[in-house]
Amino acid sequence: MAFFNSSTLDSPIEYLKGVGPIKAEILKEEAKIFKFKDLIEDFPFRYVDKTNFYLIKDITQDGITIQLKGTLVSFEKIKGKNNRHRLVGLFKDSSGFMELVWFQSVKFLEKSLKPHHEYTIYGRISIYDGKKSMVHPEMELTSERLDKKGNAFQPVYHSTDKLNARGLDSKNRRKLIQRLFEKLGKQDFPENLPEYITKKMRLASRHDAYKWIHFPENIEQKQWATQRLKFEEFFFLQLKLLTTKIVRKSKLKGAVFQHIGQKFNEFYHNKLNFELTGAQKRVLKEIRHNTGSGIQMNRLLQGDVGSGKTIVGLMSMLIALDNGFQACLMAPTEILAQQHFRSITDSLEGMNIKVAFLSGTVKGKKRQSLLDDLKDGKIDILIGTHALIEDPVVFKNLGLAITDEQHRFGVAQRSKLWQKNKNVVPHILVMTATPIPRTLAMTVYGDLDVSVIDELPPGRKEIQTLHKREKDRSRVIEFMHKQIARGRQIYVVFPLIEESAKLDLKNLNDGYERLLHYFPRPDFQMSIVHGRMKSKDKDLEMQRFVEGKTQIMVATTVIEVGVNVPNASVMIIENTERFGLSQLHQLRGRVGRGGEQSFCLLMSSDKLSKDAKERIQTMVRTTNGFEIAEADMNLRGPGNMQGTQQSGVLDFKLINLVQDTGIIETARNLAQKIIDTDPNLEHPSNIRLKRYLERMKHKIKDWGRIS
Ligand code: ADP
Ligand code: MG
């Protein structure tokens, strides 16, 4: 995302000596390199370290690539079994001897290699039977090497077959960049950070940073360069996000919820049969403050499974109603949407509030009259699936749109909600149970206000989590019998993924049959739910479990999201090793919702990979969603985190969201401080920032409307 002030760097790539029109085409196609500056912006992904010299005696590891200095004592040509020749050399340094072997270019090497001369050699070590050797080492006469400078760390660039075939492999790219740098000077890399930042953070100049990231002479230069460029990358993104947020906050008018009225109060005093937790009260206050201000709310509500987000959502909707607006709640699945509909209808019983349900299953006349009522303002609260955001759905006066479990919705889908009121932009509340690690939240939700429910309702007992293996199965069955005898209900969850769907389905059915054997009808009843069933059947089975008519629910992860059956206190997960951490956490969150002690049994095979073991151990150790999210990010990397896939926000050039937390926080804090004191970047000391942001307007991605 750099910007260069120079016409040199803006030149088309074909004008670089050694490129020309044909190679330019390939560079454009294969590497998106159009201009000189793109070549420089394509950073090496690793370096070949030629700063260190190994001693032969210190080599203990097979397969490492290293550099040595020593004498080529002798070599001879040996004829192999297949009549082909190989060249075998004897190499010696101050500490010992080893063999060098070449299978190719034997004739050429025979002529050019010089025995008794000192060489610097580079290559991959193999150790066989205690004997050390190097196959096809790069050989350089040390005497010739001395006057070469700047190749202490050699950059390696991403390449493709096409690039390689056209003489644009990593080595040649290196040469091109070297040539380019000969033409460039400091003036080509104007500073974009104010002096008070570069001084305070001791950042390398931009020129040095760009030069050193390609050609560091030592490890310090490499670190300086990456430090500077990583900082720059994240800092400007944050600056941009924060300025966008300010613009939104000052310009975008939202519905004004001036007062709390009769509906909210009646619910609060007469209907709510528990005390709100401190965290719920705090979040409600934040939402009230926000929606009363006249500025549109764009808020993410994070709260672990079972923390009671729904009630906060419902009470926010009542505030909207009290101010003459409509509200809607969108859930990602039919089951979850219906559950919300039922529980909200129940809680509002006896109050004069019209709640309606809409999904793909609502059709024909029923649908039409619902749509008419919505338009006429006869419906106060609409609950449903993504059917809600379709174009024919027109509200009279939508003031608040809530989406539950946001990671299931695409960014584009969600942004449609913004357009559902012609007069004002509805307030948006995004509820998620996916705890997003701090560093990630900063990036993905830089423009959202974030509320956190970090407290569970009182009286919840910590779920006991145990790791069990196949050999424990009979004890697990016994345990299930005991729990059912106490009136509890049990989930048994099997993995089902697209790629192995057939096998998984069989696995699920086998598991179901096995359980039938241990829990025979009519004394016991079981439900079964999986994604391949018709949604009508699914709902029926689910409903039987919700009503307590079945004791065991055998299911795939369709139950992962949001299902609430307080009497279910045992979660048994089969093939635990095949689930990701956040998925396991979501699944476990289905129990522990009532007053009873709950259990989560993680069944696995005996042999586990290191990762699987770590995931299971994490689950046994903690029930804290944030801790689990951090562990998940460390194990899988941020690119695979839920909620980030569609945002596309994670394609950084250099920043690594897991490893660079230090830089990320520094950059974020600094950007925040600057925006707090100088929101429009008008202070003379910030002039470079302002200019750079303006020039980069289209380059730095805008995630402003991510909700
Ligand atoms: P989630 O945050 O996972 O969506 P829910 O909103 O489904 O959680 O709440 C889980 C359960 O906790 C529900 O049965 C709800 O009625 C109950 N609950 C919510 N808040 C409280 C509270 N303050 N005290 C007691 N129970 C509560
Ligand atoms: Mg929920």
Is 661 domain-assigned? no
State how many domains the chain has: 4
**Which are the contacts of 83, defined by CB distance < 8 A and separation ≥ 6?**
none
CB of 413 closer than 8 Å to CB of 389:
yes
Strands (E), 59-117: 65-79, 85-93, 96-102
User: Which of 116-120, 156-160, 406-410, 560-564 has the highest mean predicted lDDT (pLDDT)?
Assistant: 116-120
pLDDT (0 to 100) of residue 650:
56
The mean pLDDT of the chain is: 87
pLDDT-based confidence at residue 702 (cuts at 50, 70, 90): very low
For the segment 656-660, the average pLDDT, to the nearest whole number, is: 80
pLDDT at 559: 65
Q: Write down the pLDDT at residue 633.
A: 79
* Closest atom of ligand 1 to CA, residue 275: 23
| pLDDT, position 660 | 87
Q: Are residues 564 and 602 in the same domain?
A: yes
Whether residue 95 is predicted with pLDDT greater than 90 in this model: the reply is: yes
- Kindly state whether residues 535 and 547 are assigned to the same domain: yes
Identify the domain containing residue 375 by its residue range.
262-291+308-432
> What's the confidence (pLDDT) of residue 150?
47
| Stronger pLDDT, 54 or 48, i.e. the higher one | 54
Give me the residue label for tokens 């689950």: 619
CA-CA-CA-CA dihedral for 429, 434, 440, 444, to nearest 10: -30
Confidence at residue 486, expressed as pLDDT on a 0 to 100 scale:
96
Atom of ligand 1 nearest to the CA of 589: 3
pLDDT band at 208 (very low <50, low <70, confident <90, very high): very high
pLDDT (tens digit, 9 = 90+) per residue, 230-241?
999 999 988 988
State whether 597 and 470 are in the same domain. Answer: yes
Q: Is residue 575 one of the residues assigned to a domain?
A: yes
* Last residue of one domain, picked from the residues 622, 645, 673: 622
Percentage of the chain with pLDDT > 90? 52
Which atom, in ligand 1's list, is nearest to the CA of 303? Answer: 2
Same domain, 36 and 69: no
Q: Calculate how far, in angstroms, residue 459's C-alpha sits from the geometric centre of ligand 1.
A: 12
Cβ within 8 Å of residue 571, ≥6 positions away: 463, 490, 491, 493, 587, 588, 590, 591, 598, 599, 600, 601
Q: Which ligand has the shortest distance to the CA of 306?
A: 1
Same domain, 409 and 329: yes
Q: Do residues 382 and 492 share a domain?
A: no
Tokens of 42: 């394509």
Q: Is 563 in the pocket of ligand 1 (CB under 6 A)?
A: no
Q: Is the CB of 567 under 6 A from ligand 1?
A: no
Of the pLDDT bands very low, low, confident and very high (cuts 50, 70, 90), residue 645 is very low
Per-residue pLDDT tens over the stretch 150-185: 457 888 898 888 888 888 888 889 999 999 999 898
Atom 27 of ligand 1 has which residue's CA nearest to it?
A: 457
User: What backbone torsions phi and psi does residue 215 show, to the nearest 5 degrees?
Assistant: -130, 70
**pLDDT of 117:** 94
Cα of 310 from ligand 1 centre, angstroms? 7
Q: How confident is the model at residue 48 (pLDDT cuts 50, 70, 90)?
A: confident
Query: Which CATH number goes with the domain that contains 393?
Result: 3.40.50.300
Does residue 453 belong to any structural domain of this protein?
Answer: no
Q: Per the domain annotation, does 369 fall within a domain?
A: yes
CA 642 to chain centre: 6
**pLDDT value at residue 706:** 37
Domain membership flag for residue 448: no
Reported as a pLDDT band with limits 50, 70 and 90, residue 412 is low
Check whether residue 324 and residue 358 sit in a common domain. yes
Pocket lining: 306 vs ligand 1, CB cutoff 6 Å: yes
User: Is pLDDT of 27 > 50?
Assistant: yes
Is 331 in the same domain as 471?
Answer: no
User: What was the pLDDT predicted at 513?
Assistant: 94
User: Which range among 111-115, 312-316, 358-362, 390-394 has the greatest average pLDDT?
Assistant: 312-316
Give the pLDDT band of residue 1 (cuts 50, 70, 90): very low
456 vs 194, more confident = 194
Residue 425 has pLDDT above 90, yes or no: no
Q: How confident is the model at residue 517 (pLDDT cuts 50, 70, 90)?
A: very high
Asked if 166 and 277 sit in the same domain, the reply is no
Q: Please state the pTM of the whole predicted model.
A: 0.67
Percent of the chain topping pLDDT 70: 90
Query: Is residue 228 within 6 Å of ligand 1 at its C-beta?
Result: no
Answer yes or no: do 543 and 564 share one domain. yes
Of residues 55, 122, 66, 58, the one with CA closest to residue 92: 55
Same domain for 31 and 134? no
Of 282 and 408, which is predicted with more confidence? 282
Please choose from 268, 271, 273, 274 the residue to mutate so as to test ligand 1's pocket, defined by most ligand atoms within 8 A of CB: 274
What does the pLDDT read at residue 4?
Answer: 54
Verify that 116 and 178 share a domain, yes or no.
Answer: no
CA dihedral 61, 66, 71, 75 (to 10 degrees): 70
**Is the distance from the beta carbon of residue 595 to the nearest atom of ligand 1 less than 6 Å?**
no
